[in-house]
Amino acid sequence: MTRETQRLGRFSSFSGLVRWRNALIQANALQNGAYGCALGSMANELSDQDEQARTLLADLFKTWEELIAAGLERMQAKGALKPDADPEQLAIGLMAALQGGYLLANTAHDVRPMEIAIDQALEHLKSYLA
Protein backbone atom coordinates (compact mmCIF):
# COMPACT_ATOMS: atom_id res chain seq x y z
CA MET A 1 0.00 0.00 0.00
CA THR A 2 2.96 2.31 0.49
CA ARG A 3 3.76 2.05 -3.22
CA GLU A 4 0.14 2.70 -4.18
CA THR A 5 -0.10 5.64 -1.79
CA GLN A 6 2.98 7.15 -3.43
CA ARG A 7 1.61 6.54 -6.93
CA LEU A 8 -1.99 7.59 -6.30
CA GLY A 9 -1.77 9.97 -3.36
CA ARG A 10 -1.39 13.11 -5.44
CA PHE A 11 -2.82 12.51 -8.91
CA SER A 12 -5.36 15.08 -10.00
CA SER A 13 -5.53 14.53 -13.76
CA PHE A 14 -6.33 11.80 -16.22
CA SER A 15 -2.67 11.75 -17.26
CA GLY A 16 -1.82 10.95 -13.62
CA LEU A 17 -4.03 7.87 -13.84
CA VAL A 18 -2.36 6.90 -17.11
CA ARG A 19 1.07 7.18 -15.47
CA TRP A 20 -0.18 4.90 -12.66
CA ARG A 21 -1.50 2.45 -15.25
CA ASN A 22 1.79 2.51 -17.15
CA ALA A 23 3.80 1.80 -13.99
CA LEU A 24 1.54 -1.17 -13.12
CA ILE A 25 1.74 -2.62 -16.62
CA GLN A 26 5.49 -2.12 -16.81
CA ALA A 27 6.10 -3.80 -13.44
CA ASN A 28 3.83 -6.72 -14.33
CA ALA A 29 5.37 -7.07 -17.81
CA LEU A 30 8.79 -7.60 -16.22
CA GLN A 31 7.45 -10.91 -14.91
CA ASN A 32 5.38 -11.78 -18.00
CA GLY A 33 2.20 -11.25 -16.02
CA ALA A 34 3.16 -13.91 -13.48
CA TYR A 35 2.53 -13.56 -9.73
CA GLY A 36 -0.47 -11.23 -9.91
CA CYS A 37 -1.40 -9.00 -7.00
CA ALA A 38 -0.20 -9.98 -3.53
CA LEU A 39 -3.38 -8.63 -1.90
CA GLY A 40 -5.60 -10.35 -4.44
CA SER A 41 -3.77 -13.64 -3.96
CA MET A 42 -4.07 -13.42 -0.18
CA ALA A 43 -7.75 -12.50 -0.45
CA ASN A 44 -8.37 -15.52 -2.65
CA GLU A 45 -6.57 -17.85 -0.26
CA LEU A 46 -7.72 -16.49 3.09
CA SER A 47 -11.15 -14.87 2.74
CA ASP A 48 -13.11 -18.06 3.31
CA GLN A 49 -10.70 -19.44 5.91
CA ASP A 50 -9.89 -16.58 8.27
CA GLU A 51 -12.38 -13.83 9.12
CA GLN A 52 -9.74 -11.56 10.66
CA ALA A 53 -7.58 -11.81 7.52
CA ARG A 54 -10.64 -11.23 5.30
CA THR A 55 -11.53 -8.08 7.21
CA LEU A 56 -7.97 -6.76 7.06
CA LEU A 57 -7.73 -7.46 3.33
CA ALA A 58 -11.13 -5.84 2.69
CA ASP A 59 -9.87 -2.75 4.54
CA LEU A 60 -6.71 -2.67 2.41
CA PHE A 61 -8.72 -2.90 -0.81
CA LYS A 62 -11.02 -0.15 0.50
CA THR A 63 -7.98 2.04 1.21
CA TRP A 64 -6.74 1.45 -2.34
CA GLU A 65 -10.16 2.36 -3.75
CA GLU A 66 -10.23 5.48 -1.56
CA LEU A 67 -6.87 6.60 -2.97
CA ILE A 68 -8.30 6.39 -6.48
CA ALA A 69 -11.59 8.03 -5.46
CA ALA A 70 -9.72 10.89 -3.75
CA GLY A 71 -7.77 11.57 -6.93
CA LEU A 72 -10.98 11.54 -8.94
CA GLU A 73 -12.50 13.96 -6.42
CA ARG A 74 -9.48 16.24 -6.91
CA MET A 75 -10.11 16.06 -10.65
CA GLN A 76 -13.76 16.92 -10.05
CA ALA A 77 -12.81 19.89 -7.85
CA LYS A 78 -10.56 21.21 -10.63
CA GLY A 79 -13.36 20.84 -13.16
CA ALA A 80 -11.56 18.04 -15.06
CA LEU A 81 -14.22 15.46 -14.15
CA LYS A 82 -17.93 16.11 -14.71
CA PRO A 83 -20.02 16.87 -11.61
CA ASP A 84 -22.28 13.87 -12.28
CA ALA A 85 -19.34 11.43 -12.10
CA ASP A 86 -19.34 9.24 -9.00
CA PRO A 87 -15.69 8.94 -7.89
CA GLU A 88 -16.42 6.04 -5.54
CA GLN A 89 -18.16 3.96 -8.20
CA LEU A 90 -15.49 4.76 -10.79
CA ALA A 91 -12.79 3.74 -8.29
CA ILE A 92 -14.52 0.42 -7.60
CA GLY A 93 -14.81 -0.25 -11.33
CA LEU A 94 -11.16 0.56 -11.88
CA MET A 95 -10.13 -1.69 -9.00
CA ALA A 96 -12.27 -4.53 -10.34
CA ALA A 97 -10.64 -4.16 -13.76
CA LEU A 98 -7.21 -4.08 -12.15
CA GLN A 99 -7.76 -7.15 -10.00
CA GLY A 100 -9.39 -9.11 -12.82
CA GLY A 101 -6.56 -8.05 -15.08
CA TYR A 102 -3.98 -9.23 -12.55
CA LEU A 103 -5.72 -12.61 -12.31
CA LEU A 104 -5.94 -13.12 -16.07
CA ALA A 105 -2.35 -11.95 -16.62
CA ASN A 106 -1.14 -14.30 -13.91
CA THR A 107 -3.00 -17.25 -15.40
CA ALA A 108 -1.81 -16.52 -18.95
CA HIS A 109 1.68 -15.36 -17.93
CA ASP A 110 1.00 -12.46 -20.26
CA VAL A 111 0.41 -8.86 -19.20
CA ARG A 112 -1.93 -8.15 -22.13
CA PRO A 113 -5.21 -9.12 -20.36
CA MET A 114 -4.34 -6.74 -17.53
CA GLU A 115 -3.54 -4.00 -19.99
CA ILE A 116 -6.85 -4.47 -21.82
CA ALA A 117 -8.91 -4.54 -18.59
CA ILE A 118 -7.37 -1.35 -17.18
CA ASP A 119 -7.52 0.41 -20.54
CA GLN A 120 -11.22 -0.36 -20.90
CA ALA A 121 -11.90 0.96 -17.39
CA LEU A 122 -9.95 4.12 -18.20
CA GLU A 123 -11.87 4.48 -21.48
CA HIS A 124 -15.10 4.39 -19.49
CA LEU A 125 -13.71 6.96 -17.08
CA LYS A 126 -12.89 9.21 -20.04
CA SER A 127 -16.60 9.54 -20.73
CA TYR A 128 -16.80 11.57 -17.51
CA LEU A 129 -14.00 13.97 -18.39
CA ALA A 130 -15.15 17.56 -18.66
pLDDT surpassing 90 at residue 127: yes
Please give the model's pTM, rounded to 2 decimal places: 0.85
The SS3 call for residue 30 is: coil
Q: Which domains does the chain have, with CATH numbers?
A: 2-126 (1.10.357.10)
**Three-class DSSP category at 79:** coil
Distance CA 10, CA 58 (A): 23
User: Which one is predicted more confidently, 20 or 31?
Assistant: 20
d(C-alpha 14, C-alpha 126), whole Å = 8
58-69: per-residue pLDDT in tens?
A: 888 898 899 999
Mean pLDDT of the 39-67 span: 74
